[in-house]
Amino acid sequence: MTADRGTLPGSHQHAPDGQPAAAEPAGDAAASRRRDIGPETLRRVERSASALATRAIAAMDARLSWFRALSAEQRSWVTLVAQAGIAGYVSWLDGSPTARLTEQVFGAAPRRLLRQVTFRRTVELVRLSISVADEHIPALGDSPAERAALADTLLRYSREIAFAAAGLYAAAAETRGAWDARIAAAIVDGLVRGQDPEELASHAAALSWDSTAPAVVLVGAAPPGDPQAAVDAVDEYSRAGRPALAGVHGTRLVVLLSSVPGSHGATDRGSAPDEQLLRLFGPGPVVIGPAAAGMAGAVHSATEALAGLAVVAARPDAPRLIAADALMAERVVAGDGAAAEQLRQLMAPLETAGSPLLPTLRSYLDHAGALEPAARTLFVHPNTMRYRLRRVAELTGLDPWDARDQFTLRIALVLGSLPAGAVQGS
């Protein structure tokens, strides 16, 4: 039984009563494919495989600019695939099943070639190789019937090769997607645990993550429902052009965000993501760590963000997005030694400023932010107090006129009065 040229290989043939016919045995399939093609012609086709592959590679080199840019190793693998593809035509005529055909043709190259040569380009290679074969193989027939049979079977073979390539790339994409997801989860888990930055950078390189670009870590409540759905939502956000990796740890959603633009008004410390990303978190504040380059910076950003999230409940008025260093005072009260040391160091510029900034700040805070009583205590004009307090704001980044920053400055003053190492956990 010969196959109709309009019927794709593998499609059902129907018996007269409308029921699907039994699958054609392999021997019958081979006989169907080889019909009108003599054994001598088949041997000539087999012997011509190497020369045809060489012609196909020459055509690729002449017509495909991206092929010329491949490395010598990559070109050698493509050459092997082209040669196996043409040789596979003879095996296919002998009744080789599609599964064996896929392994014979594409198994000649390493799996990493699938990353280096896209499916679209593979289709170009297959089309060009079959075009070269179509120009030369039918001419190897001894009779018009053989030449027609060779042309007909080449068309059907090219379809099977195309379907085999599509299946191979689909399977590779599924495997690669699962593998990439495991790597991303390992990176986020490493950030939470404070893993060695060099190990994290090695994992990130497998995902083509740019470790030199600024990155921040955001931590907030995970949305209700399936944790994987939250991770998938961040992945979809990342594919829109904002590189991001995510993981759910307990009730927390942790996101590493690369190349973040400037603040959108949520905070003047660090860099803020857009509202689209914030909507992927669950209810409550989202804490953002400081921006820094490299995985060492990402680990520090994660540490700060997680520490901030642990105390953000002490800020009932916290905005949706809040910087970790805006929660320093709460962290100190909760016994965070690292935050205490940072606030203690905040007073160092005031000590070395060469003017009585520390006494000015202390008197101002002791009088609950009342400027004139504080000025009278120091025997200075209120304008002098204003000037000194502006200097305090410049040197510390905290606003003495803001109630929240007054609270932080008060704690920093206490810590600054203590000797280095006096704070537990610092």
Share of the chain above pLDDT 70, in %: 78
pLDDT at 27: 47
112 is written with which tokens?
A: 């990493």
Segment of 102-106, 301-305, 404-408, 419-423 carrying the highest mean pLDDT: 301-305
Q: Is the pLDDT of residue 332 over 60?
A: yes
Q: Bigger pLDDT: 107 or 70?
A: 70
Q: Is the pLDDT of residue 207 over 90?
A: no
Return the ∠ at Cα 42 (arms to 36 and 43), rounded to 5°.
Answer: 150
345 is written with which tokens?
A: 């160091």
Q: Bigger pLDDT: 241 or 8?
A: 241
pLDDT tier at 270, thresholds 50, 70, 90: very low
pLDDT for 141-155, tens place per residue? 888 888 888 888 888
pLDDT for 27-42, tens place per residue? 454 455 556 788 888 8
Which CATH architecture group holds 339-416?
A: Orthogonal Bundle (1.10)
Helix residue spans in 143-274 (DSSP H): 144-193, 197-206, 227-239
Q: How far is CA 317 from the centre of its chain?
A: 34
pLDDT at 171: 66
Query: What single DSSP character describes residue 292?
Result: E
pLDDT at 109: 57
pLDDT at 101: 61
For the ranges 79-88, 190-199, 224-233, the lowest mean pLDDT is seen at 79-88
pLDDT at 307: 94
Q: Is the pLDDT of residue 3 over 60?
A: no
Q: Is the pLDDT of residue 23 over 50?
A: no
pLDDT tier at 172, thresholds 50, 70, 90: low
Q: How far is CA 46 from the centre of its chain?
A: 45
Q: Bigger pLDDT: 171 or 305?
A: 305
Q: What is the mean pLDDT of the chain?
A: 78
3-state helix/strand/coil string of the chain: CCCCCCCCCCCCCECCCCCECCCCCHHHHHHHHHCCCCHHHHHHHHHCHHHHHHHHHHHHHHHCHHHHCCCHHHHHHHHHHHHHHHHHHHHHHCCCCHHHHHHHHHCCCCCCHHHHCCHHHHHHHHHHHHHHHHHHCHHHCCCHHHHHHHHHHHHHHHHHHHHHHHHHHHHHHHHHHHHHHHHHHHHHHHHHHCCCHHHHHHHHHHCCCCCCCEEEEEEEECCCCCHHHHHHHHHHHHHCCCCEEEEEECCEEEEEEECCCCCCCCCCCCCCCCHHHHCCCCCCCEEECCCEEHHHHHHHHHHHHHHHHHHHHHCCCCCCEEEHHHHHHHHHHCCCHHHHHHHHHHCHHHHCCCCCHHHHHHHHHHCCCCHHHHHHHHCCCHHHHHHHHHHHHHHHCCCCCCHHHHHHHHHHHHHHCCCCCCCCCC
Share of the chain above pLDDT 90, in %: 13
Query: What single DSSP character describes residue 312?
Result: G
Within 8 A by CB and 6+ apart from 41, the residues are 140, 141, 142, 146, 150
pLDDT at 260: 46
Q: How far is CA 93 from the centre of its chain?
A: 43
pLDDT for 341-370, tens place per residue? 888 888 888 888 767 888 888 888 888 888
Q: Bigger pLDDT: 262 or 259?
A: 259
pLDDT for 274-314, tens place per residue? 888 899 999 999 999 998 888 888 899 999 999 999 999 99
pLDDT tier at 162, thresholds 50, 70, 90: confident
